[in-house]
Amino acid sequence: MTTELMLVRHGETVWHADNRYTGSSDVALTDRGRRQAEELAGWARLARLDAVWVSPLARARDTAAAVSAATGLVATVDERLRELDFGSGEGLTAAEMHQRFPAARAAFRSDPVAHPLPGGEDPRAAADRGSACLADVTRRCPGQRVLVVGHSTLTRLLLCRLLGLPLARYRSAFPVVRNCAVTTVHWGGTGAAALVEYNVPTTVPTTVPTTVHAGCGGKEATP
């Protein structure tokens, strides 16, 4: 039995305007980011979710809080869903990295898995922890609909891992993960997943499932 995993990136943060690498840094949502979270909550109110899982970083938890308020679901915070740590690249733009460590930045661009940014987390380890978390979700929520609120780079790494793509392709295969857009995969916890949709805006659905499950975290969603 597969679980419907709905992967969502948090709302816009204060570092988005300059496209700064956020990673493990705890950066707040902007007013626009909070509006995006509310739009996600409006979508979630009719999406008949069974559970919500979320990264421990504040920008993700604040995004998920809007969903919890709209659905009555208590989000499960899981450390394994945190964003990739970019080491010396934290808080910098691509141009600033090129100025400070040009060789390392060039190596990262050529293969971001073999050559993570200086002092940064190994993307393979991040994919391992993230996929282990999603495997736990499928065991706890078989056949159910679970919203996972996380981050751009981890989501792209997870998509490569679940779909059987080389991790080194995460930047080229999935160049953009939009704030509060939904990427849906069906996965049974082992083997390859099925990609159902990618980067879908969170408009209010025109139809909703007829069945709501309980028992995999939080409480039953309200209609």
Tally of CA atoms within 13 A in the half-sphere of 97 that contains its CB: 22
Is 16 annotated as catalytic?
Answer: no
Task: Say how many domains are in the chain.
Answer: 1
Query: Catalytic: which of 12, 38, 39, 83?
Result: 83
Say if 153 falls within a structural domain.
yes
In a domain, 217, yes or no: no
Q: Is 160 exposed, middle or buried (0-12, 13-18, 19+ CB in 10 A)?
A: buried
Token pair, residue 160, equals: 């490569």
pLDDT surpassing 50 at residue 221: no
Q: Tell whether 92 is covered by a domain.
A: no
Q: Examine residue 77 and state whether it is found in any structural domain, yes or no.
A: yes
Instruction: Return the higher-pLDDT residue of 1 and 75.
Output: 75
CATH classification of the domain holding 74: 3.40.50.1240
Question: Helix/strand/coil (H, E, C) string of the chain?
Answer: CCEEEEEEECCCECCCCCCCCCCCCCCCECHHHHHHHHHHHHHHHHCCCCEEEECCCHHHHHHHHHHHHHHCCCCEECHHHCCCCCHHHCCCCHHHHHHHCHHHHHHHHHCCCCCCCCCCCCHHHHHHHHHHHHHHHHHHCCCCEEEEEECHHHHHHHHHHHHCCCHHHHHHHCCCCCECCEEEEEECCCCCCEEEEEEECCCCCCCCCCCCCCCCCCCCCCC
Domain that holds residue 179: 3-83+122-200
CB neighbours (10 Å) of residue 117? Answer: 23
Q: Is residue 109 part of a domain?
A: no
In a domain, 114, yes or no: no
Nearest one of 152, 134, 131, 129 to 10, comparing CA atoms: 152
Asked whether the whole model's pTM tops 0.75, one would answer yes
Structure tokens at 140: 């706890």
pLDDT, tens digit, 9 for 90 and up, residues 119-154: 999 999 999 999 999 999 999 999 999 999 999 999
Q: Which residues of 187-202 are buried (b: 16+ CB within 10 A; e: fewer)?
A: bbbeeebeeeebeeeb
Is 59 assigned a ligand-binding role in the annotation?
Answer: yes
Q: How confident is the model at residue 101 (pLDDT cuts 50, 70, 90)?
A: very high
Q: Is 202 annotated as a binding residue?
A: no
What are the backbone angles phi and psi of residue 16, rounded to the nearest 5°?
-70, -30
The reply to whether 10 belongs to the active site is yes
Q: Give the pLDDT confidence of 173-212 residue by residue, as tens digits.
A: 999 999 999 999 999 999 999 999 999 998 654 444 434 4
Instruction: Write the pLDDT tens digit of every residue in 28-55.
Output: 999 999 999 999 999 999 999 999 999 9
